[in-house]
């Protein structure tokens, strides 16, 4: 059973890691886009609403997909006042409970956001500003996908915590 759980955790974490590493490059894309917009505006008196909106679209996608990668890399903020004083099995139990809760919450958010995307698609939502970006549903579609990815990472963490609980304590 523990071998199966470890395999599931490794596969899920691997998927999140690959997507996260690709997403990390969006930071460079954002810096280049902002630099282009600033230089274009101040040096060449050139700028478009669409390029300005693209900045926050790239930022939104980076944040959405970055949250699961952050969790994958252990970058979450944790309050260790009590957790640090617990034994390994108690920590594993807390991790198991919290990661199961994260799976559930992530799946609920993903499910609820689908209607949001459908509504945006059905009305052909785009920018309210002239010259802005069209097809806003593409950006909104990143919400359920990113939360499914977060649920996948939480599933990996659930499996890892379960393995720690199921593995008998060995004397070192």
Q: How many domains does the chain fold into?
A: 1
Assess if residue 104 is contained within a domain: yes
Assess if residue 171 is contained within a domain: no
Domain containing 103: what range? 2-166
Assess if residue 36 is contained within a domain: yes
Q: What is the pLDDT of residue 171?
A: 44
Q: What is the pLDDT of residues 57-66, one digit of tens each?
A: 999 999 999 9
Q: Specify whether the backbone of 48 is left (phi greater than 0), alpha (psi in -120 to 50) or beta.
A: beta
Assess if residue 95 is contained within a domain: yes
In angstroms, the Cα distances linking 114 to 64, 91, 93, 123, 146 are 15, 35, 32, 14, 12
Q: What is the pLDDT of residues 5-21, one digit of tens each?
A: 888 888 888 888 889 88
Task: Please give the model's pTM, rounded to 2 decimal places.
Answer: 0.85
């Amino acid at each position: 059973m523990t071998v199966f759980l470890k395999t599931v955790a490794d596969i899920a974490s691997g998927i999140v890691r690959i997507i996260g590493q690709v997403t990390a490059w969006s930071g460079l894309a954002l810096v280049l886009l902002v630099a282009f917009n600033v230089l274009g505006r101040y040096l060449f008196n050139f700028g478009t609403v669409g390029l300005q909106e693209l900045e926050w679209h790239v930022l939104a996608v980076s944040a959405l997909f970055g949250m699961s990668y952050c969790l994958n890399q252990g970058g979450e903020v944790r309050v260790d006042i009590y957790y640090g004083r617990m034994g390994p099995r108690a920590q594993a139990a807390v991790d198991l409970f919290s990661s199961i809760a994260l799976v559930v919450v992530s799946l609920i958010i993903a499910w609820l956001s689908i209607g949001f995307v459908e509504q945006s698609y059905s009305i052909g939502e785009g920018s309210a500003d002239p010259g802005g970006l069209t097809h806003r549903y593409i950006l909104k579609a990143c919400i359920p996908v990113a939360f499914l990815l977060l649920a996948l990472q939480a599933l990996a963490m659930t499996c890892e915590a379960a393995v720690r609980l199921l593995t008998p304590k060995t004397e070192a």
